[in-house]
């Protein structure tokens, strides 16, 4: 795919914009089974990222990702801050000082992000969290790449898997995060974090698709 | 939403500045970082006690910074955990060489942010330990879930661990007594009305004029169920029974009681609740050593209350009785 | 009406029983008469301090009974003055031979009931004196009317007269210092929501979602006017200016500040107000000696706040700084 | 008129019943310009009176009236407790140990009551209080009696005057009591205390009329 650092930066900005656009929606989802702040938290974080990215014009891909992670960690708070922060941090650490990203980096980065989130949050699939969108997405991506698909195609498969994952969260009882306090009352509601993960992946895919 | 605030995005800063302006003899503010620190911290050789969490629970946490309780409190946004760098900065502010205990309420966000801060502190050579408060019996306790929430019982952890630190306890000792409190404290609450996060502008749930929410959290999270309002005695009986059965508390036990208002409940109603709790404990021959009635762990302008019982042994009794002098909790 | 109460007719008794159950080390209840008396009263040779009024203002009045403040408090029905026989009984409970000061808020009912009680006490040979608190600048002061209401400034009268009595002042001295406080204290409040008297079951006024009531009393009485809600800073500026101009407070003055919540206002919002008050005082070079932020003089579950300023001289400063140990007001 | 003590007692009970029946109405009036308790306060007081009266079967008229006054003073609270309490106390003191009341006693008693209220409350006509109903009523009663009317007729004139007085309170600004805090906003509302006075006088008149 050959994504330059400048394109990576643009992609992250696009992700930020989608989060901003969905601030009310994500907050609404969180108000049903959480504390009504997921959109607010995430938008605040990506607002800080937006201010930060221009200062990284000369940085490598790993540094950009790690800085995004640090920025999220230090501005978002709540559960999503450490989780998404760790995700970007780990992706950045894995990818390292590259100037251009290939399909394999996408795979490596997302795998590292997923592992980071699972380690930080101790959630497993079925707990009604980010993991329920991200893990199937990562698996779908890997499978597609193994089957010889392009990065854009593979990410398309990941997006579909994430969307299914979001749908799946409606039917399960939360076992991690605030929603878990609701017990059975969490049934029927889609998970806000899984939803933001889906939105982020979809934006990345659209970005790649636009560019090809 | 009708609130006495300026910009919603600015409410936490405004509040903290108003708080330190009110109590300069107790606390100072670390600018930008929203950390309230005990005026005379770090205290050489004394274990530091850092807590924090989302804002909107005032006087928790900043109001409990002072002699005999917290050494610093990190204020997150409303109902949002503070961030690791904030917590790390607080740890550094209070580290007097004897280590720092982090008192964390059992919420995913708080746990992770405090954990990351502890890792960072360790990297900088500051010894920390953590305890996690989970006193809310409304939530089912299970190994496979997040477990229970930390609510009003946290104030007893602050008080007692704070007394131990003030008395010169080591980090291990302070942690141990904090864990003893956690093992012996149980709470449950109910709401008459929801609350509104300033940035959200609308409540997370709505209740009809004759409905109450049982077992809700302190962040506007819906509770275990909803029911028609009943008399204060009936509601109190329900909450107190759940609390009593959980530990369980038994005949001959000595306890501390906290009747906590969630923000909009008049003291009058809290005293009505306490009358019933005192009666129930008396009938069960559980003796009340101390009672605290007031707003300690609030949820913005939510109307409602929680009942907390802490089973005391000799050590806890002495530490609970120790003086504390903070803006929000004073005891001679 | 959604309240944590049992029968409306029983709410005052329930509350008082819950209060003494919570604080047996501070207070006792005179059964049937709804009087809260300091545990160790009467104190031989010490001036007794009796206050009281309608219930619904908690922690006022019963919460301020204890060392360094009130010796007894008479609880009337919600928002209804106590009766002469109640007040007389309180006077007798606290009379230690040095006389009794009655601290009355300037409401027709309170004035008349306390006056009758004082006449009865005199007939029984107990020396009493009275002071009338009238700090509410929202009400026009005129010789031809009832004059101003007593609101949150009353708490400073309790504190300072209480300190003087505790220090062994004579009845004349305690009365004199109480009058000095009254001459130097000014308050004004505003409401976001009305409150509901339990026995009435509905609010005395209603406010639209974007309306606030300025200058209302602490009994659900409508205020001076109604306006659209503005920012906390704007509202605070309006109240504080009225208070400042009235005495007037001037450059170089030393003051105590009280930001009082009316019942349902979160501490968060009170701190936001205090930030602005502190700023305004700073700009005017008026120095703040002490600040009190919290619920002191409430109006059931009314949302809103009042701003009180007390101009201090050396004597008032020292008495304000004296320790007080009561359930609702503690100061080391 | 020749009112026996037992009839006096019945009359007071009738007054109490009217207050009880008008509890909500008086409270409503007080909620417009006061603190929404006048009906509640008065009803509580007369409820205590109702319990107390049967213990006074053998007492004289003065004792009955004084006991009613004491009972009101010690149960009503607020402004109306001391005011109405003083009124009954003073009437009882004035009338003394009579066994039967004549028209002149009605006059003496009401004058004493009015004086007691004015002394206790320091209100004058035009302050929008009880006085605005009671003073014209007392004057009308006296005039009627002087003109040779019966007690029932004279009390009828007093009731009309009290009713006019209540009407008059609508057009004036309160200068005493809680309503005075409202300043001009008290205009247009009738005074609760003046209204309860009117109701009490009307009930007394109806009682006398029924009996003749
Ligand atoms: N332990 C966890 N592991 C993974 N994701 C989690 C975990 N706990 C919570 N989440 C995710 O975080 C989301 C909520 O984030 P947010 O509302 O920003 O934080 P908070 O719950 O602290 O208010 C949930 O919808 C869920 O997807
Ligand atoms: N100084 C006074 N003199 C005569 N009547 C008064 C005076 N002050 C108040 N009142 C009467 O008392 C009535 C209110 O009584 P109530 O509501 O029972 O007492 P409170 O005002 O203490 O709540 C008013 O409507 C008015 O008629
Ligand atoms: Mg959330
Ligand atoms: Mg949150
Ligand atoms: Mg009243
Ligand atoms: Mg009234």
- DSSP secondary structure, chain A, as one string: --EEHHHHHHHHHHHHHHHHHTHHHHHHHHHHHS-S-HHHHHHHHHHHHHHHGGGGTT--HHHHHHHHHHHHHHHT-TTHHHHHHHHHHHHHHHH-S-SEE-HHHHHHHHHHHHHHHHHHH---TTSSSTHHHHHHHHHHHHHHHHTT--HHHHHHHHHHHHHHHHHHHHTS---SSGGGGGGGGGTT---HHHHHHHHHHHHHHHHHHHH-
The answer on pLDDT for D54 being more than 80 is yes
**Dihedral pair phi/psi, residue C331, rounded to 5°:** -150, 125
B48 touches chain A (CB under 8 A): no
Say if the Cβ atoms of A176 and B76 lie within 8 Å: no
Q: HSE (CB half, 13 Å, CA atoms) of B248? A: 9
Between D15 and D2, where is the model more confident?
D15
Task: Give the ligand whose atoms come closest to the C-alpha of residue A44.
Answer: 1
Domain boundaries, chain D: 3-211
The reported pLDDT for the residue numbered C275 is 98
Question: Which pair of structure tokens corresponds to residue B141?
Answer: 């306790």
Q: What is the pLDDT of residue A76?
A: 93
Residues of C in contact with D182 (CB under 8 A): 221-222
The set of long-range contacts for D145-151, using a CB threshold of 8 Å and a minimum separation of 24, is: D145/D103, D145/D104, D145/D107, D150/D1, D150/D103, D150/D212, D151/D1, D151/D102, D151/D103, D151/D106, D151/D208
Query: Nearest-5° angle of CA D18, CA D22, CA D26?
Result: 130
| B246: confidence class by pLDDT, cuts 50, 70, 90 | very high
- Average pLDDT on A197-211 reads 96
The number of the ligand 1 atom at minimal distance from the alpha carbon of A121 is: 1
Report chain A residues touching chain B, CB-CB < 8 A. 27, 31, 33-37, 40-41, 44, 73-83, 120-121, 175-178, 180-183, 185
Residue C144 has pLDDT above 80, yes or no: no
Q: What's residue A185's pLDDT?
A: 87
The CA-based diameter of chain D, rounded to the nearest angstrom, is 50
Chains A, B in contact: 3+ Cβ pairs under 8 A?
Answer: yes
State the span(s) of chain B assigned CATH 3.40.50.10440: 8-183
pLDDT at residue A139, as a whole number? 98
Digit-coded pLDDT (tens) for D174-208: 999 989 888 888 999 999 999 999 999 999 999 99
**What does residue C15 show for φ and ψ, rounded to 5 degrees?**
-60, -50
Neighbours of C261 (CB within 10 A): 28
Q: Which of C158, C171, C175 is nearest to C308 (CA)?
A: C158
Check whether B260 has a pLDDT greater than 70: yes
Reported as a pLDDT band with limits 50, 70 and 90, residue B56 is very high
Ligand 6 centroid – CA B89 distance (Å): 55
Tell me the mean pLDDT in the region D136-154.
Answer: 97
Residue B129 Ramachandran class (φ > 0 left, ψ -120 to 50 alpha, else beta) = beta
Could you tell me if C5 lies within 8 Å of chain D, comparing CB atoms?
no
pLDDT for residue C223 is more than 70: yes
- Residue D77: which of C82, C146, C205 has the nearest Cβ? C82
Q: How far is the CA of C221 from the centre of ligand 6 (A)?
A: 9
The mean of the pLDDT values for chain A is 95
Of C209, C291, C327, the CB nearest to B21: C291
- Least confident span in A143-157, B113-127, B286-300, C218-232: C218-232
Q: Say whether pLDDT at B222 is over 80.
A: no
Do chain A and chain C touch with ≥3 beta carbon pairs under 8 Å? no
pLDDT band, residue B302 (cuts 50/70/90) = very high
Instruction: Count CB neighbours of B76 within 10 A.
Output: 27
Task: Please give the residue that has the higher pLDDT: either C1 or C16.
Answer: C16
Does the Cβ of D37 fall within 6 Å of ligand 2? yes
User: Is ligand 2 within 6 A of the CB of residue D72?
Assistant: no
Instruction: Flag if C271 and B331 touch (Cβ within 8 Å).
Output: no
CB-CB under 8 Å, C82 with D82: no
| Whether the Cβ atoms of residue D173 and residue D128 lie closer than 8 Å to each other | yes
Task: Find the CB nearest B221 among A35, A83, A120.
Answer: A35
Do B14 and C232 lie within an 8 Å CB cutoff?
Answer: yes
CB-closest option in C4, C17, C269 to B4: C269
Chains B and C are touching, with contact defined as 3 or more CB–CB pairs separated by less than 8 Å: yes
Q: Is the Cβ pair B83, A35 closer than 8 Å?
A: no
Q: What is the residue whose two structure tokens read 């500026």?
A: C237
CATH architecture of D3-211: Alpha Horseshoe (1.25)
Q: A212 pLDDT band (50/70/90 cuts)?
A: low
Task: For residue D131, give the nearest of D90, D79, D166, D182 by alpha carbon.
Answer: D166
Task: Assess whether pLDDT exceeds 90 at residue B220.
Answer: no
Between C and D, how many residue pairs show a Cβ–Cβ distance under 8 A? 113
How many residues in total does chain C contain? 332
pLDDT tens readout for residues C274-312: 999 999 999 999 999 999 999 999 999 999 999 999 999
For residue B57, list chain A residues with Cβ-Cβ distance below 8 A. none
CA B137 to centroid of ligand 3, rounded, Å: 21
**What is the CATH code for B185-331?**
3.30.1180.20
Residue B320 is predicted with a pLDDT of 98
Using CA coordinates, name the residue in chain D closest to C115.
D120
How far, in Å, is the centroid of ligand 6 from the Cα of C107?
Answer: 10
- Cβ of residue D121 lying under 6 Å from some atom of ligand 2: yes
Q: What separation in Å is there between the alpha carbon of C112 and the centre of ligand 6? A: 14
Mean pLDDT, rounded, of chain D:
95
Contact call for A175 and B108, based on CB within 8 A: no
Decide whether any atom of ligand 2 lies within 6 Å of the D62 Cβ: no
Pocket of ligand 1 (CB under 6 A): A 30, 34-35, 37-38, 41, 78-80, 83, 117, 121-123, 129-131, 176-178, 191-194; B 80-81, 108-109
What three-state secondary structure class fits D69? Answer: helix
Task: For residue A129, give both structure tokens.
Answer: 């969290």
Render pLDDT for A116-132 as a digit per residue (tens, 0 to 9).
999 999 999 999 999 99
Confidence band for C145, pLDDT divided at 50, 70 and 90: confident
Please compute the mean of the pLDDT values over residues C38-51 and round it to a whole number. 97
Average pLDDT, chain B: 96
One-letter-per-residue 3-state SS of C78-135: ECCCCCHHHHHHHHHHHCCCCCEEEEEECCHHHHHHHHHHHHHHHHCCCCEEEEEECC
Q: Which ligand is nearest to the CA of D166?
A: 2
Kindly give, in sequence order, each residue whose CB lies less than 8 Å from that of residue C281, ignoring residues fewer than 6 positions away.
C255, C257, C287, C288
Reported as a single tens digit per residue, the pLDDT across B181-216 is: 999 999 999 999 999 999 888 887 889 999 999 999
Q: Which fold has domain B8-183?
A: Rossmann fold (3.40.50)
Half-sphere exposure of B122 (CA within 13 A, CB side): 10
Query: Please, where in chain B does CATH 3.30.1180.20 lie?
Result: 185-331
Q: Residue D212: what pLDDT? A: 67
How do strand C254-261 and strand C287-294 relate by DSSP bridges?
A: parallel
Structure confidence at residue A97 as a pLDDT band (50, 70, 90): very high
* Closest-lying ligand 1 atom to the alpha carbon of residue B54: 22
| Mean pLDDT, rounded, for A58-66 | 95
D57/B5: higher pLDDT: B5
Backbone angles phi and psi of C287, in degrees to 5 = -100, 135
DSSP assignment letter at C327: S
**C282: distance to nearest CA of chain D, Å?**
32
**Phi and psi dihedrals of C108, rounded to 5?**
-45, -50
Q: Do B146 and A175 touch (CB under 8 A)?
A: yes
Instruction: Judge if the beta carbon of residue D194 lies within 6 A of ligand 2.
Output: yes
For C232-280, write each residue's pLDDT tens digit.
999 999 999 999 999 999 999 999 999 999 999 999 999 999 999 999 9
The contact set of D with C (CB < 8 A) is 27, 31, 33-37, 40-41, 44, 73-83, 120-121, 175-178, 180-183, 185
| Residues of C assigned a catalytic role | 57, 219
User: Pick from C108, C115, C217: which is nearest to D177 by CB?
Assistant: C108
Q: Whose CA is nearest to atom 8 of ligand 1?
A: A177
Q: Enumerate neighbours of B (3 or more CB pairs within 8 A).
A: A, C
φ/ψ bin of B201: left (φ > 0), alpha (ψ from -120 to 50), beta (otherwise): left
Q: Give the distance from residue B110's alpha carbon to the nearest chain A alpha carbon, in angstroms.
A: 7
């Amino acid at each position: 795919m050959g994504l330059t650092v400048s394109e990576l930066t643009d992609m992250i900005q696009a992700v930020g914009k989608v989060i901003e656009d969905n601030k009310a929606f994500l907050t609404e989802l969180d108000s049903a089974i959480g504390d009504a702040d997921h959109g607010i938290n995430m938008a605040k974080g990506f607002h800080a990222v937006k201010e930060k990215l221009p200062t990284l014009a000369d940085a490598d891909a790993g540094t950009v990702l790690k800085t995004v992670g640090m920025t999220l960690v230090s501005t978002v708070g709540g559960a999503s801050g450490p989780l998404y922060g760790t995700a970007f941090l780990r992706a950045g650490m894995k990818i390292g000082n590259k100037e251009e990203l290939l399909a394999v980096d996408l795979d490596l980065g997302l795998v590292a992000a997923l592992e980071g989130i699972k380690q930080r949050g101790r959630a497993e699939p079925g707990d009604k969290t980010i993991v329920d969108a991200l893990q199937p997405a990562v698996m779908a991506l890997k499978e597609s790449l193994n089957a010889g698909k392009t990065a854009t195609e593979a990410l398309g498969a990941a997006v579909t898997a994430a969307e299914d994952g979001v749908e799946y969260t409606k039917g399960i009882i939360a076992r991690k995060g605030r929603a878990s306090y609701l017990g059975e009352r969490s049934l029927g509601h889609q998970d806000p974090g899984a939803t933001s993960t889906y939105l982020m992946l979809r934006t990345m895919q659209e970005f790649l698709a636009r560019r090809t | 939403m009708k609130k006495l605030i300026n910009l919603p995005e600015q409410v936490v800063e405004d509040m903290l500045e108003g708080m330190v302006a009110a109590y300069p003899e107790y606390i100072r503010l670390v600018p930008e970082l929203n950390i309230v620190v005990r005026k005379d911290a770090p205290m050489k050789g004394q274990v530091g006690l850092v807590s924090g969490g989302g804002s909107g629970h005032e006087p928790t946490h900043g109001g409990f910074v002072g002699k005999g309780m917290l050494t610093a409190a990190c204020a997150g946004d409303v109902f949002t955990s503070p961030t690791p760098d904030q917590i790390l900065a607080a740890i550094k502010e209070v580290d007097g060489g004897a280590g720092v205990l982090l008192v964390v309420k059992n919420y995913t966000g708080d746990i992770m942010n405090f954990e990351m801060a502890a890792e960072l502190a360790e990297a900088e050579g500051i010894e920390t330990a953590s305890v996690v408060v989970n006193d809310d019996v409304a939530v089912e306790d299970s190994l496979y879930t997040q477990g229970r929430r930390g609510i009003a019982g946290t104030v007893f952890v602050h008080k007692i661990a704070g007394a131990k630190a003030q008395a010169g306890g080591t980090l291990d000792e302070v942690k141990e007594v904090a864990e003893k409190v956690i093992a012996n404290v149980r709470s449950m609450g109910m709401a008459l009305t929801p609350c509104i996060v300033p940035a959200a502008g609308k409540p997370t749930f709505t209740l009809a004029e004759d409905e109450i929410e049982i077992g809700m959290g302190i962040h506007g999270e819906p509770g275990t169920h909803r029911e028609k309002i009943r008399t204060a005695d009936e509601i109190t009986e329900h909450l107190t029974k759940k609390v009593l059965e959980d530990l369980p508390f038994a005949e001959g036990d000595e306890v501390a009681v906290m009747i906590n208002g969630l923000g909009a409940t008049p003291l009058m109603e809290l005293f009505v609740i306490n009358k019933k709790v005192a009666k129930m404990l008396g009938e069960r021959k559980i003796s009340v050593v101390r009672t605290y009635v007031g707003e300690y762990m609030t949820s913005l302008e939510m109307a409602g209350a929680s009942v907390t019982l802490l089973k005391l042994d000799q050590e806890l009794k002495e530490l609970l009785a120790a003086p504390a002098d903070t803006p929000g909790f004073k005891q001679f």
